[in-house]
Structure 1
Amino acid sequence: MAESPVIYLLGKLASFFENEFQHMRQGREEMIVLRGEFERIKAFLRVADSMEESNEEVKVWIKQIREVAYDAEDALDEFKLLLAHDHEGRGLLYKIPCCIRNMKARYQLTAAIKSISCRMKDICESHQRLSEKSNRDQEGSSSTCEDDTWQDHRADAVFVEKSGLVGIEEPKKKLTQWLVDGISEREVISVVGMGGLGKTTLVKQVFDDPVVKKHFPVRAWVTLSPSSKTEELLMDMLQQIASTIMKPVPSGADTMNIDWLKMMIKSFLQGRRSRYLIVLDDVWHMDKWDAVKYALPNNNRGSRIMITTRNGELAQASCTEFDGQVYEMQPLPVEQSWKLFCRKTFKKNLCPSHLQDICTDILKKCEGLPLAIVAISGVLATKDKRRIEEWDLVRRCLRSEIDGNDKLKNMKKVLSLSFNDLPYYLKSCLLQTSIFPEAHIIERMRLTRQWVAEGFVEMKDAKTMEEVADGYLNELVYRSLIHVVERDKDGRVKSYRIHGLLRKIIISKSRDQNFAAIVDEQSSAWPDRIRRCSIHNELQIGQQNLSLSHLRSLYVFGVDKFSLYRILSGDLKLLSVLDLQNAPLRRLPVQVVDMRCLKFLSLRHTQIQTVPTFIGRLQNLETLDLKHTYVTSLPVEIMKLQRLCHLLVYRYQTVSYTHYKHGFSTPAHIGALQSLQKLCYIDAEDDRTNNVISELGKLNQLRRLCILKLKKEDGRKLCWSIAKLTNLQALAVSSLRDDEDIDLQYLSSPPPLLQRIYLRGRMQALPHWIANMHSLVKLHLRWCCLKEDPLPSLQDLPNLVHLELLQVYDWHTLCFKAKGFQKLKILGLDYFEDLTFVQIEREAISSLEKLIIQRCKQLKSMPSGIEHLTKLKVLEFFDMPEELTEKLKLAEKDEDYQKVAHVPELRYGYWRDGAWDVTSVERSGEEWSSRPQDTMTKRSNLPPCWK
């Protein structure tokens, strides 16, 4: 993958020739020749990449090119860093030493470029021979077609994964029957087979099946990757079980030993009257099973444990020991393989006749492995169906790549081919995902901001770099190389994951290409001359001489404090990404001051309380992530960061079921940060002293703005500022106190792209402009105490998907009119003390999937018309009158109960003694049964209206 570093180098050379080249006196000719050589060689590298694995000579040549490109990039970055350091000086005393350093920098660059030019000449002597060989082997084609264009298939990706499965109904039916119809004793059901057969996919479908959900009110899904620590697995299981049964995890659980965690899990499960289902996904070794099995008790309620594993011996042993059955996964039959192949490759699910022979040959090589079929289909889906030679090239590559009986090796080859077919920018992005630990859920914004800081993202049209990066993610999803884990109801992706086998391939390629290295307890030595490094778990580095001068990115996962400071003390002057999320830090390490190239700095979930003034020296910084730290103010030096795009300084705090946000006091003149796109959460209480509200109007690149403690008298200024923010997409405003007014009536025309609005505070009237916002997707209104019913103004919003209302209006009768709120999927109603009746007319809120009603003390009957909400999946009542909840226990005897008999999930509960006492109502056949559950305090599992 030498194409990527060469292209990135040419970008830096272009900038150098534009800004610095004219000041050079020596080395000008070498610089021109060097750029010419890299430009000429770039086109050949694309073809050479496809030959790298099969041709050792090409592999060595590509490695040499890559190393030269890296060295040239280092020389340019070090030169730029020295000049930037000179420019920081001011006054006469700085002129002479700055001039000397300037001369030294140019001399060092000239010497480096001369050396690199000599190496390039030697390397390029073999270029003609390799080029001729490539032309013979690859005549008329290339591994990547420049004309291939990707369409936006964001909506398709999730549907393909959930509903586009093939050959899964019968095994799903069988496994569901084993789970539901078995004996009352605890059983283990093992699903066994080689990697890529779809074990996890099948079991996830069973796990999410409505029948299984109703039968097992207590459920948990735990992935047992080979590198996972036993205490981490048990802690994950404990948290999931506690969340499901609405019971808090005991304080200090994360520091307890393995035996204590087992005891707590067993106590939680043994004391329940409910059946539990625990899925242990991807169990590789017997010791992992031994570590958790005794925490899962036999409560004689028909509880089940499901295991997915590649280890047939482990599957048999677990089922023999605890009683149960083994299901052996089989490859897809030819007919189902063809169906899956066509569904993934061709939009109309039909293979063109002129491609049938080629596709049949390709499919044979996949040997019925779903993962292999999906991967190669992702490659073929981008090919021009009119150019049969492109398809034949894939067939020929597969024929040489996929030989022998080693199916796991075959699948890796298929996935490697899928990687090789990526354009260079997607290769870099995919390789970068290797830095995350196995089975790690990757947050979308964290990933895209890292890509931008790494330099992988190219500017396109009027899009922001983050929007372009989102497009890259969509391409990788469509090619089945990364998988969506979670989406918001408005369609935005929240997180992704990488399949374990693909991740291994990526790690291998990253090491081979000196792209990234993973350092953990198993690493025998620190890698040499690495560009990116990801450190996993505790690592005692000792007295090693760390080679860090070439490092561009450092990612830390679970590293102890000693090792962390040891690493940060190294030569990290060229570092552009420093991700210290969850690191054991109480202050920002002083070593960061020397990282002048830094673009991405994350200290999320650390114990940091203050930001030192030296932050102003990091003038290349684009992302400063202080979310969930204890920082409440920023130094005035933050204003020097003119490239800062994302400033995140806030944390959450939950007291009882009230959810508080804590922001930060921003320095005056924040409007000078012209590159800001996301600003969360600023504290506006002291606006008189620094005039922050007026300054916000200068941030014309802002996409998301969150404000806390707004005073009524500042509403007019805020409206004037918001009107100038034409790129704003999300707005959150909270008043100084819940009983204080906020006045946003002065906004004559809201930003045209505004999609999400969160307002908390009293208002004399609903802002008039909200009713005309066709772009609005999500609206949260809290403590508004309006004088007029807001529903008539909101019901015709064409794209409103999510609506939450808390003490918005003094309703006695709340009526959703016919054909109103047609797109609404989530509705939350909270704390309407005088509400006695809710009416849903026919064809009103017809798309609703989730309804939450809470703290409406006078509402004693089910909403009238709720029986017409055929798409309703979840219904929740919290702190509601007992007359209402008692009706749910009467089953067919109660008319109100029959109105919600079609809803798969129903819960009701009360806040008592500082905790939740919750009952889940589930259906078994034609009957409903109630199962009490206990407390929970985990914020992410609180009903939306409390967040």
Structure 2
Amino acid sequence: MAETVVPLVSNRLATLLREEGSLLGGLRQEVQFIKDELGQMRAFLKVAEPKEDDDPRLQEWIKQVCEAAYDIEDVLDEFVLRFAGHRHHGFCGSLQRILKAIKSLPARHQVASEIQSIKSRIKNISELRRRYQDEFGIDHRVAGSSTMNDSRRYSRDDALLVEEAKLVGIDQPKQHLISKLLEGHDHQLKVISVVGMAGLGKTTLVKKVHEDPKVRKNFPVRAWVTVSQTCDFPKLLRDLIRQLNKSVPQSIESMTTAELKKIVKDILRRVGRYAIVFDDVWDVEFWNEIKFALPEGNYGNRVMLTTRNADVASASCTESQDYVYKMEPLSIEDSWTLFCNKIFKGNHCPAHLMDVAKAVLDKCDGLPLAIVAIGGLLASKDVSRIDEWEKIQHSLGGELEGTGKLERVKRILSLSYNDLPSHLKPCLLYLSIYPEDYLIGCYRLINLWIAERFVEWREGMNIEDVAWGYLGELINRSLIQVTGVFYEGLPNHCRIHDLMREVILIKSREQNMVTVTTGQPMTWPSKEKVRRLAIHSSSNSSNIQYHQQRQFYCFEHLRSFIAVSSTNPFLSKTFLSEVLRSSKLLKVLELGGEEIEETPNEIFNLLHLTYLNLCGTKVERVPRAIGKLQHLEYLNLGYSGVRELPVEILKLQKLRYLIVFQPVDPLDSNYGFHGFKGPSKLGGLLALQMLNTIDASSGSVIVKEIGKLTQLRVLYITQLRREDGKELCSSLVNLTSLQELSVDSVGKGDDREIIDLNHHQHSLSSSTSCSFLQSLCVLMMRGRLETMPVWITHLQNLVRLDLIWSGLRAEEDPLESLQHLPNLGVISFCGSYQGERLCFKAGGFLKLKQLWLRRMEGLRWMTIEEGACPNLRKLVLAQLPSLEDLPSGIQHLSHLQELGLYEMSSGMIENVENQGEESENYRRMAHIPEIVIGFYTDDGGWRICRLWGKQKKTFLA
């Protein structure tokens, strides 16, 4: 964290010296000294932070640096709050400056005193830095070199910890990988990468494959090379040479890397068919180095890699025959078997321990390393003492911080954190704001990172794209798990493994990054400076116990106040008002979903506020005082009662995200959303990148203003009138960065007014003259279409298309114009077509993965030709009363994973449910792993029936 805070503060000091130097007066030299010393510390931190786990003194020093940097930031913000931004000109301006200076003498004295105090602290910290630099032999001038701590050697020692018990669930992936190794008669080198998070058993699996008799028989020359983070490449090559050739000359000890590579290559050319494992590969550079030592040969040679990093896996598997195997956690059944094998030696779990055993196992979340380690801990406990087991269950976080087997689990999981570049570490630690098993919204997360200033500006890149890149890298490193996608390539929700979360919590507490409380007295921390406060709801808390604890808590340093997963009147108005009143430097205020009926007035005195989320609250109006928050960049009032914004919103010139909407029907998003009525000069908000959702019912003036928002990437517009379609086309031509567009016309359901966006004179039909078409990825249109707009066929980057209530006539087959769009991955039609037949033609929709067809009463036949939709994974048919049979050609959808049938005709359900194994219908759908049938019962209940293969399960939804 210090490695992130220090450069941030250092850059702010540089800006202060450059832009506000005249206000500093005699303090300029002190500020320059602090900036220079922070620069020295920044270089030292790069090599000191990886060593902190092994030396408490370094850990304490880094904490001091971090706290000093935070305190400097406080002083800077106080300084800006009091003095900056008050420029005056002319004679009257001079008088005002004199008067203001006289009035602020006490404030200036306080700031000067604080800067002098920090300068003294910085001197002491710098002296310690010089001492440690000499003592540890750290040269910060070579801080970029790879200096790892000894704890990373635990990696391979503990990787096979799972072999202490027989690993279950390994036979199927083992046989799968063996078949991949042995398949094919090509003569090219084939690479197989096994990727997944720490502790999944990647090394164990590959070792079983490598030692299998069939593999040994087919590959007489084999080698196993452990790479790890502390890779000494020449030493690794010498080890490989010794495994491949028993007689090795002494001269290899003095050979260069290039000479060693040549020897490896020569040996492998001579020996014939080989299989080599490179275990625990951490970066792409290793593969880029080692691949030049591996000859293609004519024997079908094989290489296997294990890695935590998806980038490594993809970089090594670039040829058509190469293969990436993503290792998944154990199933619930296999987890239970492994757990019982370790603790009860294969016997059954005693009934009185069943509940606590399952609770502990839930924490492991299918991670074999954790199951075996925690199982080993529980195996030493008396099975007749349920209290001992419960103690372990409730103290797993503490056990990870102790010694023994769980300490080893922590070290292995910590390796992935320690390997992160400095800019990603705070992003990962920030996830400690979320409760266990929380489904994290990716859009909101990246905007919180941006608001916290974790995301660095990069030349020529939008900061949101940089933030998405950060998230993608954490996903690729197997530290964050994607649980849902908005469209191909863009994660919508994610989560973290429970035990990885425990590791993150430990490190977050060590660095005083986030303070988490449930509001109960026992969860309040000891007296400390709280920078970020995350409040979680608890089952027995109805109100935060604040007043009796206030003497232990300091809010004046608070930068972020985040309420998460609160479903009750959790934050009392008194508590919230007190926090906001005393947190004048607050930058992030996250109150989404809280029981708040009006915007607290104290918010409008938070002049540093950059992020304000009141989504899902009961707020119905926005006061004119919103104009005071001139640093605000993110404002979310979605799912609130707000329907209009005051003209003062135009003062927020830094606003990038403006989100204000509420659903027309909370139970069905197909009916669209109410937007907000904004001021007529909305085009003045030039920094806007997301506008969701603007009400266009006031006419062409607001539609024309949209054309001035040239930075827009996301635009949702509702209540569009037919006569304003021409003006909207003119505006859209200016939005060259637009990626998502949603247009709702005036009206309700299938009685909506026509969306008229087919204006040829406005160049939307030409792919060459309409540059916005080059960026559009998502298009949603809710309203009638006379014809399919011609320009849609030019959307080369379109990934998702929703057409709702468009009611296209039979002669306007929507598939004809869409089938050759090269990137279209998701289609959702609802009331979109009046014809009787839909035909997906061979060679069409090559990238389509999800298809939703709903509420098309006239549809009677559906055909899928062989070669159409070859990558379709999910097909949902809903409320299609005239469709009596499964789509003709459904057997051609070889990759289909799920077929959903909701409120379909009785004939359709009969054709799916009651078919013998010899029937034609059964054969047509036998390849589909999961079929879901949903229907309303006679008593008005909703039932779901799931079919897996020959099994059928029905339950009340």
Are the counterparts in 1 of residues 773 and 794 from structure 2 also a CA contact under 8 Å?
no
Match of 2:703 in 1: 693
CA gap of 1:643–1:837, structure 2 versus 1, over 3 A, is same
* Equivalent position SS for 2:882: coil
Aligned length: 732
Match of 1:610 in 2: 621
Are the counterparts in 2 of residues 759 and 781 from structure 1 also a CA contact under 8 Å?
yes
CA gap of 1:412–1:89, structure 2 versus 1, over 3 A, is farther
Match of 2:915 in 1: 891
Q: 1:541 aligns with which of 527, 542, 546?
A: 546
Q: Distance in 1 between matches of 2:137 and 2:51?
A: 11
Q: 2:682 aligns with which of 667, 670, 674?
A: 670
Letter in 2 for 1:715: G
CA gap of 1:307–1:105, structure 2 versus 1, over 3 A, is farther
Match of 2:653 in 1: 642
Are the counterparts in 1 of residues 653 and 686 from structure 2 also a CA contact under 8 Å?
yes
Alignment of 1:363-402 (within 5 A): none
Q: Distance in 2 between matches of 1:902 and 1:435?
A: 43
Q: 1:407 aligns with which of 405, 408, 433?
A: 405
How far off its partner does 1:327 sit?
11
Are the counterparts in 2 of residues 628 and 651 from structure 1 also a CA contact under 8 Å?
yes
Letter in 2 for 1:79: F
Match of 1:791 in 2: 815
Q: 1:745 aligns with which of 758, 761, 775?
A: 758
Q: 1:556 aligns with which of 563, 575, 581?
A: 563
Q: Distance in 2 between matches of 1:412 and 1:505?
A: 6
CA gap of 1:38–1:446, structure 2 versus 1, over 3 A, is same
Q: Distance in 2 between matches of 1:877 and 1:553?
A: 45
Match of 2:127 in 1: 125
How far off its partner does 1:827 sit?
1.4
Match of 1:905 in 2: 930
Letter in 2 for 1:61: W
Letter in 1 for 2:945: S
Q: Distance in 1 between matches of 2:26 and 2:358?
A: 72
Letter in 2 for 1:76: L
How far off its partner does 1:561 sit?
1.8
How far off its partner does 1:819 sit?
0.9
How far off its partner does 1:432 sit?
1.4
Q: Structure 2 stretches of 5 or more lacking a match?
A: 149-165, 175-196, 205-329, 362-366, 375-399
Taking structure 2 as the reference length, what is the TM-score of the superposition? 0.69
Structure with more relative contact order (C-alpha pairs < 8 Å, separation 6 or more): 1
Match of 2:322 in 1: none
CA gap of 1:431–1:855, structure 2 versus 1, over 3 A, is closer
Are the counterparts in 2 of residues 460 and 468 from structure 1 also a CA contact under 8 Å?
yes
* Equivalent position SS for 1:125: helix
Q: Distance in 2 between matches of 1:899 and 1:111?
A: 81
Are residue 879 (structure 1) and residue 903 (structure 2) matched? yes
Letter in 1 for 2:604: V
CA gap of 1:314–1:169, structure 2 versus 1, over 3 A, is closer
Match of 2:733 in 1: 723
CA displacement, residues 270-290 of structure 1 (integer Å, 9 cap, x when unaligned): xxxxxxxxxxx999xxxxxxx
Q: 1:508 aligns with which of 503, 506, 528?
A: 506
Are residue 759 (structure 1) and residue 766 (structure 2) matched? no
Letter in 2 for 1:779: L
Match of 2:827 in 1: 803
Q: 1:651 aligns with which of 650, 654, 662?
A: 662
CA displacement, residues 317-355 of structure 1 (integer Å, 9 cap, x when unaligned): 96536999999999xxxxxx9xx9xxxxxxxxxxxxxxx
Are residue 774 (structure 1) and residue 774 (structure 2) matched? no
Q: Distance in 1 between matches of 2:791 and 2:606?
A: 46
Match of 1:277 in 2: none
Are the counterparts in 1 of residues 937 and 943 from structure 2 also a CA contact under 8 Å?
no
CA gap of 1:775–1:69, structure 2 versus 1, over 3 A, is same
Are the counterparts in 2 of residues 715 and 744 from structure 1 also a CA contact under 8 Å?
yes
Q: Structure 1 stretches of 5 or more lacking a match?
A: 147-165, 175-194, 203-280, 284-302, 331-336, 341-365, 372-401, 937-947
Match of 1:82 in 2: 82
Moved more, 717-726 or 522-531: 522-531
CA gap of 1:712–1:730, structure 2 versus 1, over 3 A, is same
Are the counterparts in 1 of residues 692 and 717 from structure 2 also a CA contact under 8 Å?
yes
CA gap of 1:459–1:830, structure 2 versus 1, over 3 A, is same
* Equivalent position SS for 1:584: coil
Match of 1:732 in 2: 742
Alignment of 1:264-343 (within 5 A): 319-320=350-351
Match of 2:439 in 1: 441
Match of 2:470 in 1: 472
CA displacement, residues 883-933 of structure 1 (integer Å, 9 cap, x when unaligned): 222222431375445422322222344456795644525245xx465x555
How far off its partner does 1:454 sit?
0.7
* Equivalent position SS for 1:686: coil
Letter in 2 for 1:116: I
Q: Distance in 2 between matches of 1:416 and 1:306?
A: 26
How far off its partner does 1:86 sit?
4.4
Are the counterparts in 1 of residues 556 and 583 from structure 2 also a CA contact under 8 Å?
yes
CA gap of 1:508–1:732, structure 2 versus 1, over 3 A, is same
Q: Distance in 2 between matches of 1:307 and 1:586?
A: 50
How far off its partner does 1:9 sit?
0.9
Are the counterparts in 2 of residues 144 and 423 from structure 1 also a CA contact under 8 Å?
no
Identity %: 35
How far off its partner does 1:370 sit?
10
Match of 2:213 in 1: none
Are residue 836 (structure 1) and residue 860 (structure 2) matched? yes
* Equivalent position SS for 2:612: strand
Q: Distance in 1 between matches of 2:494 and 2:79?
A: 38
Are the counterparts in 2 of residues 829 and 853 from structure 1 also a CA contact under 8 Å?
yes
CA displacement, residues 440-483 of structure 1 (integer Å, 9 cap, x when unaligned): 22211111111111111101122222211121122222333322
* Equivalent position SS for 1:24: helix
Are the counterparts in 2 of residues 806 and 829 from structure 1 also a CA contact under 8 Å?
yes
Letter in 2 for 1:115: S
Letter in 2 for 1:460: R
Are residue 851 (structure 1) and residue 875 (structure 2) matched? yes
Match of 1:629 in 2: 640
Q: 2:848 aligns with which of 796, 806, 824?
A: 824
Are residue 46 (structure 1) and residue 13 (structure 2) matched? no
Are the counterparts in 2 of residues 588 and 611 from structure 1 also a CA contact under 8 Å?
yes
* Equivalent position SS for 1:698: coil
Letter in 2 for 1:474: G
How far off its partner does 1:830 sit?
2.3
Match of 1:455 in 2: 453
Match of 2:421 in 1: 423
Are the counterparts in 2 of residues 666 and 682 from structure 1 also a CA contact under 8 Å?
yes
Letter in 2 for 1:80: V
Are the counterparts in 2 of residues 726 and 753 from structure 1 also a CA contact under 8 Å?
yes
CA gap of 1:651–1:108, structure 2 versus 1, over 3 A, is same
Match of 2:395 in 1: none
Match of 1:57 in 2: 57
* Equivalent position SS for 1:682: strand
Q: Distance in 2 between matches of 1:405 and 1:145?
A: 25
Match of 1:565 in 2: 576
Q: Distance in 1 between matches of 2:727 and 2:736?
A: 16
Q: Distance in 2 between matches of 1:7 and 1:456?
A: 11
How far off its partner does 1:171 sit?
7.5
Q: Distance in 2 between matches of 1:540 and 1:797?
A: 58
CA gap of 1:55–1:321, structure 2 versus 1, over 3 A, is closer
Are the counterparts in 1 of residues 23 and 83 from structure 2 also a CA contact under 8 Å?
no
CA gap of 1:94–1:684, structure 2 versus 1, over 3 A, is farther
Q: Distance in 2 between matches of 1:137 and 1:95?
A: 48
Q: Distance in 2 between matches of 1:792 and 1:48?
A: 62
Are the counterparts in 2 of residues 922 and 928 from structure 1 also a CA contact under 8 Å?
yes
Alignment of 1:585-600 (within 5 A): 585-600=596-611
Q: Distance in 1 between matches of 2:15 and 2:63?
A: 25
Are the counterparts in 2 of residues 676 and 701 from structure 1 also a CA contact under 8 Å?
yes
How far off its partner does 1:305 sit?
12
How far off its partner does 1:98 sit?
4.0
Q: Distance in 2 between matches of 1:472 and 1:304?
A: 34
Match of 1:579 in 2: 590
Q: Distance in 1 between matches of 2:37 and 2:88?
A: 35
Are the counterparts in 1 of residues 931 and 948 from structure 2 also a CA contact under 8 Å?
no
